[in-house]
Amino acid sequence: MAKEELMNYEQALAQFEVVIGLEVHVELNTNTKMFCGCKNEFGNEPNTNVCPICIGLPGSLPAVNKRAIESSIRIGLALGCEIAPTGRFSRKQYFYPDLAKNFQTSQYDEPIAFEGALEVEVPSGNKFNVLIERAHMEEDAGKLTHVGGSTGRIQGAEYSLVDYNRAGVPLVEIVTKPVFGAGAEAPELAAAYVRSIRDIVRALDVSDARMERGNVRCDANVSLRLHGAEKLGTRTETKNVNSLRSIERAVRYEIQRQAAILAKGGSILQETRHWHEDRGITSSGRPKSDADDYRYFPEPDLVPVQPSREWIEELRATLPENPAERRKRLAADWGFSELEFRDVVNAGLLDQIEETVAAGAKPQAARKWWGGELSRIANDESKDVAELAITPAQVAELAGLIDAGKINDRLAREVLGFVLAGEGSPAEIVAARGLEVVSDDGALIAAIDAALAGQQDVLDAIREGRMQAAGAVIGAVMKAMKGSADAARVRELLIAKANA
Amino acid sequence: MSEITPDLVRHLAGLARILVTDEEVDKFASQLSLIVDSVATVSKAVEGDVPATSHPIPMANVFREDVIEPSLTQGQALSGASDSADGRFRVHAILDED
Amino acid sequence: MTDLTRKSASELVDLLASKQVSSVEVTQAHIDRTNAVGGAVHSYLHVSPESALATAAEIDRKRAAGEALHPLAGLPIAVKDNLTTTDAPTTSGSKILEGWIPQYDATVVAKLRAAGMPILGKTNLDEFAMGSSTEFSAFGPSRNPWDLDRIPGGSGGGSSSVVASFQAPIAIGSDTGGSIRFPAAVTGTVGTKPTYGAVSRYGLIALASSLDQIGPVSRNVLDAALLQDVIAGYDKHDSTSLPESLGSMVEAAKKLDVKGMRIGVIKELTGAGFQPGVQARFNESLALLQAAGAEIVEVSCPSFEYAIAAYYLILPAEASSNLAKFDSVRFGLRVTPEGNPTIERVMAATREAGFGPEVKRRIILGTYALSSGAYDNYYGAAQKVRTLIQRDFDAAFAKADVLVSPTAPTTAFKLGEKLEDPLAMYLNDIATIPANLAGIPGMSIPNGLAEEDGLPVGIQLLAPAREDARLYQVGAALEKMHEEVWGKRMIDFAPELEVK
C-alpha cells in the first residue's frame, strides 16, 4: 500500500479549520444480552452463549432487557441528555455473516436520549463543551475470524468462521454533534472526550469500560474546511481506534492527510477508513455500496419504551457525582496547585487520595505518599497503584504517625514496605518491630557522645558556626540508631552540647 | 406507467441478495409495476395529519429482568448449519480475492 | 363405535374423559384415515404417526392410573408447518428450509405437548404463508376435499383440508390477511384469527410481524373455542403478547343467544364483486340472526378502499426483513455456485434457488417499499392507512357489537386459475385483510353452499380487540340456527372422498 502524503501539522491548521465528530459505542455490563437471556460474558467457547433469538432462528422473537434500559437512561442523564418520552426500536437492514438476522435491532429516529453536553478538559487546561446529539441502544454483532489470508484480516481470506457469543450484547452508541473550534487540540480533545465517556460509564457501573477489551469503542470523524467557509467539508470515519493514544494519533493523521489532498486541489472521498496502530496510518476501508440504504423501519416485534417521569427521577438519584464536578470540588477542598492537581488526575490517583483524606490524612501528605513512594514501588513492580496491598486508611494511619512524631520519613518508608509485605497496619508494625523514633534525650545524648568520641574539634566548629561538621555527627548518630532517631532533635541536642 | 424499471428490479434484488435472471427481471418489473400502481393510492389516502400505526394493539414498556436463561449447547446451535468448524459456523470468503 | 374421525373434537374429548375410547384408538383412527385419503388431498408435508401414538399411549397410561390430565389430553391435532417443532422438520412450505429440524418448540406447540395432545403431523401452506391457495407451496398444493380440482384456500390450505377431510379433528393455523379464514370459508369449516397478541407468536416463522396471529381450525365453533382456550395466553417470549386473559371462549360458545345484540353489516363488503351465491347466503344468515332477536344495522368503513393496497405494502416490507435471515449460514439450504464464490454469491444463489416466485416478488416489492425515497409514500403511508382503518372500526363498533361480511368474494376457484395474475389472487383477501391491519379478531363459519357451483361459502364475524368471546357467542348461535335449517352440519354436505 503506497504511503499517502501528509501535510505538516501546523501548516494544515494554518490553512484549514478542523471539525471532528465522535461516535462511541459502550458495551453494557448487564448479566444478559439485549434481547435474550443468554449470558453477556467474554471468553467462553464459541457459540455456547447463544439461543434461538441471538442466532436468528426462524420464529424467534426479541425481549428487551430492563437493566439495559436503565443503564441507557443513566448514561443519557449523566451526559445531560433529555430522556425521550417515547423511544422506539428500529431495524437497520444489511447483510453480513456476523449479523444473525441480517438486520440489527437498533434505534433510528426515536432514540432513548438526545441533546446533551459534556465539558471536556484537554491536558493544556483548555475546556471544551462537546454537544451530544444522541445516545441510543443497539445490539452487537457476532465475531468473525478470517482464515487463510496472510494477516488474518479479511483481504485474501479463504473462508471465515462466525461465533455469535457476542451477538446481541447490549451497546449504547453515543454520537456527538460536529465539534468546532478545537483547532490544533482536536486530537487531544478527541482522546479526552473518549476518556471522559469511559470514566463516566465506569463511575455509573454500567460498563467494564476497558478499551483494550472493546468495552468502549470509538469511531472518529474528521473533516476540514477553509477558515471562514460556511459549508462543512467531506468527512471520513476512522474505525479500529482501540486506545486513547490511537484516537489522538488517528485524528492527527487524518488532518494531515486530508490537508495534503485539499491543498493540491483534490477532494476527500467520503468513506470509512481503518486505523493501523503499527504503521500509524489510516487506510481506505471497503466501500459500502448500499451503506446508505439501511431501510430503517420501526421494529414490529417490540413495543415503545415510555419511561415515566418517576422512573427517570429514581434513576437520576442513582447517578454518582459527575467526574468534572467532582474534580472541581476536590481541587477546591485540597488546595493543590493546578499543576499538582493535574498530575494527580493524570496519574489516576483521585480515588486513593480522596479516600486517604477521608481517613484523616492531610491532602498534601496523601498526595506525597501516593504520588511519591507508592507510585515508585508500583512502577518498579509493573503494577497499577490500585493493585498494591495497602489501603488508603493505612496510608492515613502512616501519615498520622509521622504527624504525631512517632516516626520520621525514613522510618515511614520502612514501615510502608512491611505493610505491603502483609505484616499488618502501620501502627502494628511500628510496635512489633520497635520502629518508633527514639525521643528519649538520654539515649540520644549517649549516642551523640559516642559519635563525638575523639572529635572535640567538631564541637568547636559548631560553636564557630561551621554547621557542616554537625551533619557528619548527626549522620553517624542516625546510623548508629538505625534511623530511629529524630534528626531534628539530635541536631538540637548537639548544638546545645556545643554551646553548653 | 410506473417507476419499477428492470434496472430498479436488479438493484432491489441486489439489496435483498437474490440472484435474478434477465427473464425474471422483466417479468417482475411488469408485475410489480401493476402492483405498485394499484398501491400508490395509499399516499393520497393519508393526506393531512394522520399518525402511523406500527402496533395494532397499543402497548409500551414490555421488559424482561436481566436474569440468565439456559442457552443452546454448541452442538444444538450448529445443528442446522451447512458447514461448521472449530465450534463456529463456516462461510465462504467475504471479499473477492483481489 | 361409529367412525371416530366423524366425531367433533368436543365429542372425542368427552369420550376420552369418560374412558369410552382410548387416545391410541382415536389417534390410530386418524392415521388410518390419512393413509386412506391423504394422498389425494395432500394436507400434510410431514406425518408423525409414531410419536403421535407414543403420546397417545402415554396419556392412556396416565388416565388409567388416575392422574390428573388436561381436558384435551389425548385429542390428536395437526399443526401448520410454519410453527417450529423439535421432533419434526419445519419447512414453512419452502425449499429453503427443507429438512430443517428446529432446536426449539413454538410456544403454542409446547402448550399442546403440555396438554398431552398427540401431534399427527405438519400441514401444508403457501410458501412462508404468502398466498391464498397453497399453490405457492414448494411441495405441491393441497386440494379441496369438496372438489379435488379446486384450491382449499391459503395460505393455510393444509390445515383447513386436513380437518375438512376428517384426517384430524382440529388443527392449528396462522392468519396474516385471511390465511385461516379464507380456507375455512372455501372448505366449509371454522377458523378464527384471535385478537393480535392473544396467542404467542414465539416459534411462528414470521411473515408480517405486525399482522400475523395463530388460531384454531375446526369443523364447528365449540371445537375452535376449546382449542383457542388452550393456545391463548400471555407469553414472556413474545413482547407483543397481551398480558391479560380474554376469558373462556368455550363459555361464550355455550351461550347460544344473540337477543339484543347489534350486528353491523359493512357496506363496503357487500354487493358487486361478491359472487351471487355468496351474497345470497349472507343475506339469509342476516335474516336468521334478526329472527333470533338481533338487530341488524348498516355501518360504513370507507377506508377499506385502501386496505388491500396498505396490506400489500406492509406485508412485503415486513416479510422482506423477516426473510433476510435465510442466508445459508445458520440453517437451511446452501447453494454453492461453481468456482470460488464469495459468501455474497452463495447467499444470492441460495435465496434464488430456495425461494419461489411469489416470495421473491414480495421481497423485492417490500425492499422497494422500505427504500429511502419510497418509504414515505409507500410503507410510511400504509402505516397511516392502518390508523384510518382502526378509526373506521372504532366508529362501527360504537354502533354494533359484532360486524359481519361474507368471508370472501368467491367460492373455491380451480387450481391454476389465478396463478399468473397476482392482483386477482390478492383480491381473495379483500374482506379478511382489514381485521389484521387493525389487530381485531375475526372468525369465519360455514354459511351454506352457493347454488351456482354447490361449493361452500363462509360468513365472517368481527369483534373489537379483546372481545373474541363475542365471535364465539354469535358464531355458535348462528351455527345452531344453520343446523336447524339444514338438518345437518355443514361438513356433512361434503362429498365422500374416494378411499384408497
Q: What is the mean pLDDT of residues A222-242?
A: 92
Please tell me the distance in Å from C210's CA to the nearest CA on chain A.
Answer: 6
Residue B1 pLDDT grade (very low, low, confident, very high; cuts 50, 70, 90): very low
Q: Is B74 on the interface with A (CB under 8 A)?
A: yes
Contacts of B43 (CB under 8 A, 6+ apart): C376, C377, C378, C381
Answer for the pair A189, A41: CB distance below 8 angstroms, yes or no.
no
Please tell me the distance in Å from C69's CA to the nearest CA on chain A.
Answer: 29
Segment A120-156, tens digit of pLDDT:
999 888 999 999 999 999 999 999 999 887 666 676 7
Q: Count of CB atoms within 10 A of residue A277's CB?
A: 14
Segment A422-475, tens digit of pLDDT:
999 999 999 888 888 877 788 888 888 888 886 778 888 888 888 887 888 888
Q: Are C202 and A61 in contact (CB < 8 Å)?
A: yes
Strand, helix or coil at A333?
Answer: helix
Mean pLDDT by 10 residues, chain C (500 residues): 89 97 98 96 98 98 97 98 98 97 98 98 98 97 98 97 98 98 98 98 98 98 98 98 97 97 96 92 98 98 93 95 98 94 94 96 94 87 94 98 98 93 85 98 98 97 98 98 94 86
Q: Are B97 and A156 in contact (CB < 8 Å)?
A: yes
Cell triple for A124? 493544556
Q: Are C343 and B96 in contact (CB < 8 Å)?
A: no
Please tell me the distance in Å from B11's CA to the nearest CA on chain A.
Answer: 10
Q: In terms of CA atoms, which chain C residue is nearest residue B75?
A: C103
Q: Is B94 on the interface with C (CB under 8 A)?
A: yes
For residue B88, list chain A residues with Cβ-Cβ distance below 8 A. Answer: 46-47, 145, 161-163
Answer for the pair A170, A201: CB distance below 8 angstroms, yes or no.
no
Please tell me the distance in Å from B97's CA to the nearest CA on chain A.
Answer: 5
Give me the interface pTM, i.e. the ipTM: 0.96
Tell me what pLDDT residue B94 has: 85
Q: Which chains touch C (3 or more CB pairs under 8 A)?
A: A, B
Contacts of A238 (CB under 8 A, 6+ apart): A219, A220, A221, A222, A250, A251, A254, A272, A273, A274, A275, A282
Please tell me the distance in Å from C357's CA to the nearest CA on chain A.
Answer: 20
The pLDDT of residue A212 is above 90:
no
For residue C203, list chain A residues with Cβ-Cβ distance below 8 A. Answer: 59-60
- The CATH number of the domain holding residue C121 is 3.90.1300.10
Q: What is the mean pLDDT of residues B13-36?
A: 90
Please tell me the distance in Å from B8's CA to the nearest CA on chain A.
Answer: 14
Q: In terms of CA atoms, which chain A residue is nearest residue B54?
A: A300
Q: In terms of CA atoms, which chain C residue is nearest residue B92?
A: C343
Residue B2 pLDDT grade (very low, low, confident, very high; cuts 50, 70, 90): low
Cell triple for A472? 557528619
A and C: number of Cβ contacts within 8 A: 99
Q: Which chains touch A (3 or more CB pairs under 8 A)?
A: B, C
Nearest to A373 by CA among A339, A419, A331, A330: A419
By residue count, chain C amounts to: 500
Q: In terms of CA atoms, which chain C residue is nearest residue B77?
A: C103
Q: Choose, out of C384, C392, C393, C467, the residue to mutate when testing the contact with B (most B CBs < 10 Å).
A: C384
Residue A2 pLDDT grade (very low, low, confident, very high; cuts 50, 70, 90): low
Tell me what pLDDT residue C152 has: 98
Please tell me the distance in Å from C449's CA to the nearest CA on chain B.
Answer: 32
DSSP-assigned letter for residue C150: B
Q: How many domains does chain C have?
A: 1
Per-residue buried b or exposed e for C271-284, using 16+ beta carbons within 10 Å of the residue's own CB: eeebbebbbbbbee
Tell me what pLDDT residue A292 has: 65
Q: Choose, out of A29, A47, A288, the residue to mutate when testing the contact with B (most B CBs < 10 Å).
A: A47
Higher-confidence residue: C455 or A269?
Answer: C455
Q: Is B42 on the interface with C (CB under 8 A)?
A: yes
The percentage of residues in chain A with a pLDDT greater than 70, rounded to a whole number, is: 97
For residue B64, list chain A residues with Cβ-Cβ distance below 8 A. Answer: 37, 63-66
Q: Choose, out of C347, C368, C388, the residue to mutate when testing the contact with B (most B CBs < 10 Å).
A: C368
Q: Are B18 and C355 in contact (CB < 8 Å)?
A: yes
> What is the domain range of residue C222?
4-258+418-493
The pLDDT of residue A289 is above 70:
no
Q: What is the mean pLDDT of residues A327-349?
A: 87
Q: Are C388 and B45 in contact (CB < 8 Å)?
A: yes
How far is it, in rounded angstroms, from Cα C169 to Cα A415? 87
For residue C343, list chain A residues with Cβ-Cβ distance below 8 A. Answer: 97, 160
Q: Which chains touch B (3 or more CB pairs under 8 A)?
A: A, C
Residue B96 pLDDT grade (very low, low, confident, very high; cuts 50, 70, 90): low
A and B: number of Cβ contacts within 8 A: 132
Answer for the pair C171, C191: CB distance below 8 angstroms, yes or no.
no
Tell me what pLDDT residue C67 has: 97
The pLDDT of residue A286 is above 80:
no
Tell me what pLDDT residue A448 has: 85
Residue A23 φ/ψ region, left for φ over 0, alpha for ψ in the -120 to 50 degree band, beta for the rest: beta
How far is it, in rounded angstroms, from Cα C433 to Cα A498? 113
How far is it, in rounded angstroms, from Cα A298 to Cα A300? 6
What domains does chain A contain, in order, with CATH numbers? 9-315 (no CATH), 321-433 (no CATH), 441-498 (1.10.10)
Beta strand extents in C293-342 (DSSP E only): 295-299
Q: Are B64 and A63 in contact (CB < 8 Å)?
A: yes
For residue A63, list chain B residues with Cβ-Cβ distance below 8 A. Answer: 62-64
Q: Choose, out of B18, B19, B61, the residue to mutate when testing the contact with A (most A CBs < 10 Å).
A: B61
Burial group, residue C66, by CB count within 10 angstroms (0-12, 13-18, 19+): exposed
Contacts of A156 (CB under 8 A, 6+ apart): A148, A149, A150, B97, B98
Per the DSSP assignment, residues forming a β-bridge with A305 are: A87
Segment A84-107, tens digit of pLDDT:
999 999 999 999 999 999 999 999
The pTM (predicted TM-score) of the whole model is 0.87
DSSP 3-state helix, strand, coil percentages of chain B (rounded to 5)? 40, 10, 50
How far is it, in rounded angstroms, from Cα C210 to Cα C466? 16
Classify residue C236: in a domain, yes or no.
yes
Q: Are A63 and C236 in contact (CB < 8 Å)?
A: yes
Q: For residue A181, which amino acid is it?
A: G
Catalytically annotated residues of C: 80, 155, 179
Cβ-nearest to A154 among B55, B85, B94: B94
Tell me what pLDDT residue A385 has: 84
